[in-house]
Amino acid sequence: MASPLRYLTEAGFLGKFYIDGEWRKPIGSVAAATAVVNPATEQPIADVALGDDHDVDCAIAAARRAFAGWSMTPPAERAALLDRIHALVLERLELFAQALTCEMGAAITYARRAQVPLAAEHIRVARDNLANYPFVTRRGSTAIMREAIGVCGLITPWNWPLYQITAKVGPALAAGCTMVLKPSELSPLSALLFAEVMDDAGCPPGVFNLVNGTGPIVGAALASHPQVDMISITGSTRAGVLVAQAAAPTIKRVAQELGGKSPNLILPDADLSRAVPLGVGAAFRNLGQSCSAPTRMLVSRSQLAEVEGLAAAAASELVVGDPLAENTTHGPIANRPQFERVQTMIGVGLEEGAKLVIGGPGRAENLQIGFYARPTIFSNVHRDMSIAQEEIFGPVLSIIAYDTVDEAIEIANDTLYGLGAHVQGTDMETVRAVAARIQSGQVHLNYPDWDPNAPFGGYKRSGNGREYGVEGMEEYLETKAVIGFSPIARYRVRKSIAL
* Catalytic residue (one of 58, 152, 177, 291): 291
Taking the alpha carbons at both ends of the chain, their separation in whole angstroms is 79
Q: Which candidate, 38, 88, 335, places its Cα nearest to that of 193?
A: 88
Q: Round to whole Å and give the CA distance between 340 and 13.
A: 31
* Catalytic residue (one of 185, 196, 257, 308): 257
Q: Round to whole Å and give the CA distance between 462 and 233.
A: 12
484 burial via Cβ count (<10 Å: 0-12, 13-18, 19+): exposed
Q: Which candidate, 311, 268, 272, 301, places its Cα nearest to that of 397?
A: 311
* Residues forming beta bridges with residue 481, ordered by sequence position: 144
Q: Which H/E stretch holds residue 34? A: strand 32-38
Task: Find the helix packing angle between 189-200 and 161-175, rounded to 10°.
Answer: 30
3-state DSSP of 347-407? HHHHHCCCEEEECCCCECCCCCCCCCECCEEEECCCCCCHHHHCCCCCCEEEEEEECCHHH
Give the residue ranges of DSSP H helices in 184-330: 189-200, 220-224, 237-247, 272-283, 304-316
Q: Which candidate, 177, 176, 219, 187, places its Cα nearest to that of 56?
A: 219
> Would you call 44 helix, strand, or coil by DSSP?
strand
Q: Round to whole Å and give the CA distance between 183 and 26.
A: 16
Contact assessment for residue 357 and residue 312, using Cβ atoms and an 8 Å cutoff: yes
Determine whether 203 is an active site residue. Answer: no
CA dihedral 15, 17, 22, 25 (to 10 degrees): -50
Region of residue 155 (left: phi > 0; alpha: psi -120 to 50; beta: else): beta
Contact assessment for residue 493 and residue 142, using Cβ atoms and an 8 Å cutoff: no
> Would you call 261 helix, strand, or coil by DSSP?
coil
Contact assessment for residue 205 and residue 179, using Cβ atoms and an 8 Å cutoff: no
Determine whether 152 is an active site residue. Answer: no
Enzyme catalytic residues: 257, 291
